[in-house]
Amino acid sequence: MLSVNLAIIIPFLAAVIVPFLYAKVSRKHIGWFVLIVPVVLFVALAGYIPSVAQGENYLNTVKWIPSLNIHFTTYLDGLSLIFGLLITGIGSLVIIYSIYYMSSEESLNHFYVYLLLFMGAMLGVVFSDNLMVFYAFWELTSISSFLLIAFWYHRKRSRYGAKKALLTTVTGGIAMLTSFIMIYVMTGTMSVREIITAIDPNHMLFVPAMLLLLLGAFTKSAQFPFHIWLPDAMEAPTPVSAYLHSATMVKAGIYLVARFTPVFGSHETWFWIVSSVGIVTLFWGSFSAVRQTDLKALLAYSTISQLGLIMSLFGIGSAALSMGTGEETVIYTQATFAALFHLVNHSTFKGALFMVIGIVNHGAGTRDIRRLGGLMGLMPISFTIALIGSFSMAGLPPFNGFLSKEMFFEAIVNVSQAGIFSLNVSKIIFPVIAWIASVFTFIYCMIIVFKTFLGPYQREKLDHEAHEAPIGMLISPIILAVLIVAIFFFPNVLGDYLLRPAMASILPSIGVEGMVQPISAWHGFNPALFMTIGVIAVGTLLYLSFKRWKRIYSLLPEKWTLDNLYNNSLLFMEKGSNRITSFYMTGYLRSYSIYIFLFFIIALGGTMLFTGAFSFDMTGDASIGVYEAVLVIIMMAAALAIPFAKSRVNAVLLNGALGYSMALSFVVFRAPDLALTQLVVETVSTALFLLCFYFLPEWKKENAPRRTKRNNLIISIAVGAIFVFVALSVRSGKLFETISGYFEDAYELTGGKNIVNAILGDFRAFDTMLEVVVLTIGGLGVYTLIKLKTTKEEQKLEDQ
């Protein structure tokens, strides 16, 4: 069988090949090459199903950074296998769809490279067992999705949506990284498998790590209030929306919650946060979807709603970890099973609906519900697929969404009667919110079908005559529609081979055998069935009277929306950053130097002063001789005279006197190599100064204000004093033995009788060689500038 490590790498290798292949083959065929990748991976992963269903897991490790405990470790179990099959299976169908959807005039090489990068990153997320590798792939999904959302970058809305998605998900990713670091501090391991048994719920970092991890999950899976990025991400091409925003990227946060449920799920805080955020997101997404007039925006909010449903079920199911093996444990375990079931169902009906909406836009030229209607006769196949997908999402039989929606209702009703709900009001709130959200779900599903395909055909409002899509574009949604119906009639094939092994991964401490009954469409007359009947009845009534009550959406002013808050926050930050930048970016080198020196004074000087690092001990220093004193006086005089020079030539000469005096001091201290280097540097610098003066404008004395001169003097003295104090402190505070004793054995080690030559030619050979190269380049540069003369004709052209 194909190694999981290799399965992750293959999409990245294909992404490298695509640009070269694109240049050699017809643009219409590059998608068929890309299709090979997900198909092969899907078949390879499907080969693991029998063994994983028997409880076998697969671990592969490639050593990477042993010192930091970071390795490319992959772990395939029931949970990661479900997501891997969704990523590659839906990916295959999306690529088939994109071959016929995307125009050959598009930049298809970029499109498929981005898509393959995203596919590889998602596989890396679901199969990684190492926290740091997991995070690297997590952020790569954000980057590649940014590129896909902004694929039509010439559109302002595409750029806006891509930036919004990136800012939201990356912010959550940084929070998740902080959580991972805390987890490593608590457990001492980067392995997710080992963390489950090593975590201490009583550790002071346990709850902060949990909250930061959930922040990463909620931003990625568009949970309230971080859901605002998903509707704007719909500016991406429809194949991208069908892939990223129905089956893969938005499910990454769901996967994170499911994977870390064994780590944090036993804590009551996890239960309340995950289940409450999920329920609120379920309601708000469905409520907001009804008001949308763009079909793609409607599907975006429906995705938010369905993700909230799945998240709430995982939150409820986590309570099983804190229970024993009684009846309540069975209730919570069934919630986890329902979450996994709806996870798969959602990918099928939402993927099909996204593709149908793309077909409607392609065939009718618009997604605006107000301009559509009467398309059933012109687009019968699309209508059939839309009917199946919408009714499945609404939870109607005979479609798979009905089964998982019934299980959701049953879990909500049962859990409201369990002991974890200590307040009576909580027993009512969860089922009521879930039921109301389902009513709105039913309404927007009816809008998709009846407003688009039934009613009068409005040809005058369309750009062109509506028509059915080519068969190639219909293949993928037809396959998904068939799966929707097939899962309804044969749900236990999915349950036995995929859902139960995945549930065992989420609840490893609980024996899941016997906890979940076989999936069936009929459970008798129970509260869940009555809730479904109520949804259909009330939903139908509200759909028919929508014009009478839709005014409730205008009660919330636009300025109070989360989108407006996001936009105003960005505007505030942009204005603030512009003001700060304008304050210090003056355009004057003098100002930048002042900022640098002030930072140096405050940071280094302040730190050493408050830590007591300034310490001087000169008792062991040698006495200062006459030559040294004379040279120091000359250097001081030259340095003090430079600011008062009347011309540039005088300033250069004084600077040269300072440098040559330094060279003489090296001679006095018997350091000929340093003296020679200093002499060469001063000679080259002097020549460069004099050469540049020829091209500079006439020198004028600076008439700076006295206050500026005083400030410059203070800063200069402070910088010089800190350097002196640091040098004296370093000289006085020897913490280790000097290395000079090692070089005293130069003759035995190198055979050289001159210790300086031995150091330069043997101990520091590479350093010396590079110094010589630098000096040679500098000398050649000076020589070239001196010899380079511009003719009069060339000078005239430059002046023009």
Weakest mean pLDDT among 176-185, 268-277, 504-513, 550-559: 504-513
Is the pLDDT at 306 greater than 50, yes or no? yes
Helix 327-364 and helix 471-489: axis angle, to 10°? 160
Looking at the chain, the number of H-run helices and the number of E-run strands are 36, 2
The band of 302, judged by pLDDT with boundaries at 50, 70 and 90, is very high
Q: Which of 10, 255, 19 is nearest to 127 (CA)?
A: 255
Q: CA 138, CA 219: separation in Å to the nearest integer?
A: 12
d(CA 572, CA 112): 37
β-partners of residue 60 are 74
Q: Which two tokens stand for residue 493?
A: 């094939």
The whole-number pLDDT of residue 778 equals 84
> Using CA atoms, how far apart are residues 290 and 292, in angstroms rounded to an integer?
6
Please check the confidence at residue 790 and state whether its pLDDT lies above 60. no
Residue 244: closest CA among 77, 421, 91, 461: 91
pLDDT tens for each residue of 625-675? 888 888 889 998 998 888 888 788 888 888 888 889 989 988 888 888 788
**Tens-digit pLDDT profile for residues 52-71:** 999 899 999 888 888 788 88
Distance of CA 453 to the CA centre of its chain: 39
Q: Within 490-615, where are the H helices?
A: 491-494, 500-506, 527-544, 546-549, 562-584, 589-600, 606-610
3-state SS string for 778-789? HHHHHHHHHHCC
239: which 2 tokens? Answer: 């194949």
Q: What is the rounded distance in angstroms from the CA atom of residue 295 to the CA atom of residue 770? A: 65
Strands 70-76 and 58-65: antiparallel
State the pLDDT confidence band at 120, using cuts at 50, 70 and 90.
very high
| Residues 389 and 349 sit within 8 Å (Cβ to Cβ) | yes
| DSSP assignment string, 659-726 | HHHHHHHHHHTT-HHHHHHHHHHHHHHHHHHHHHHTTSPPP------HHHHHHHHHHHHHHHHHHHHH
Number of CB atoms found within 10 A of residue 348's CB: 30
Element of type H or E holding 85:
helix 78-101
pLDDT digits (tens, 9 = 90+) for 729-779: 877 766 667 777 777 777 777 877 777 778 878 887 888 888 889 888 988
Using CA of residue 182, residue 188, residue 192, residue 197, what is the dihedral sign? negative
Q: Is 784 exposed, middle or buried (0-12, 13-18, 19+ CB in 10 A)?
A: exposed
Quick one: which of 536, 375, 401, 530 has its CA closest to 456? 375
Q: What is the pLDDT of residue 799?
A: 53
Phi, psi dihedral angles at 75 (to 5 degrees): -140, 120
Interatomic CA distance for residues 658 and 719, integer angstroms: 19
pLDDT of 309-329, one tens digit each? 999 999 998 888 876 556 677
Structure confidence at residue 610 (pLDDT): 85
700 dihedral zone (left: phi>0; alpha: psi -120 to 50; beta)? beta
- The amino acid at residue 393 is M
Can you tell me the mean pLDDT for 553-568? 84
For residue 186, give every residue at least 6 positions away whose Cβ sits within 8 Å of its Cβ, in sequence order, or none. Answer: 198, 199, 200, 203, 205, 206, 209
Task: Express each pLDDT in 179-195 by its tens digit.
Answer: 999 999 999 999 999 99
pLDDT at residue 423 in the model: 47
- Give 77's contacts (C-beta < 8 A, 6+ positions apart): 52, 57, 58, 501, 502, 504, 505
CA gap 48, 7 in Å, rounded:
13
Please tell me the distance from the alpha carbon of residue 302 to that of residue 345, in angstroms, as a whole number: 14
d(CA 427, CA 199): 32
The two structure tokens encoding residue 291: 């008001």
Which 3-state string (H, E, C) describes 398-422?
Answer: CCHHHHHHHHHHHHHHHHCCCCCCC
User: In this predicted structure, what is the pLDDT of residue 514?
Assistant: 59
- H/E stretch holding 198: helix 192-198
Count other C-beta atoms under 10 Å from residue 767's C-beta.
11
Q: How far apart, in whole angstroms, are the C-alpha atoms of residue 768 and residue 772?
A: 6
CB neighbourhood size of 272 (10 A): 14
Closest by CA position to 572, among listed 583, 560, 580 = 580
Contact 47, 73 (CB under 8 A): no
Structure letter (DSSP) for residue 762 = I
The rounded radius of gyration (Å) of the Cα atoms in the chain is 36
130 φ/ψ angles, rounded to the nearest 5 degrees = -90, 135
Sequence-distant (≥ 6) Cβ neighbours of residue 478 within 8 angstroms = 381, 385
What's the confidence (pLDDT) of residue 741? Answer: 72
- Residue 800, SS3? coil
Structure tokens at 459: 């040809």
User: What is the 8-class DSSP label of residue 759?
Assistant: I
What CA–CA distance (Å, rounded) separates 759 from 671? 12
3-class DSSP assignment, residue 372: coil
Report the Cα 239 to chain-centroid distance in Å.
21
pLDDT score of 325: 58
Written as six digits, the tokens of 149 are 């959302």
Give which of 294, 170, 167, 173 is closest to 241, Cα–Cα.
294
% of the chain exceeding 70 in pLDDT: 94
For residue range 763-772, list pLDDT tens digits in order: 878 888 888 8
User: How far is Cα 769 from Cα 723, in angstroms, rounded to an integer?
Assistant: 29
Residue 140's pLDDT band, with cuts at 50, 70 and 90, is very high
Compute the mean pLDDT over every residue in the chain, rounded to the nearest whole number.
Answer: 88
Query: What interhelical angle do 78-101 and 30-46 show, nearest 10?
Result: 160
Could you give the CA distance from residue 391 to residue 442 in angstroms, rounded to a whole number?
Answer: 8
Summarised one tens digit per residue, pLDDT across range 683-694 is 888 888 877 777
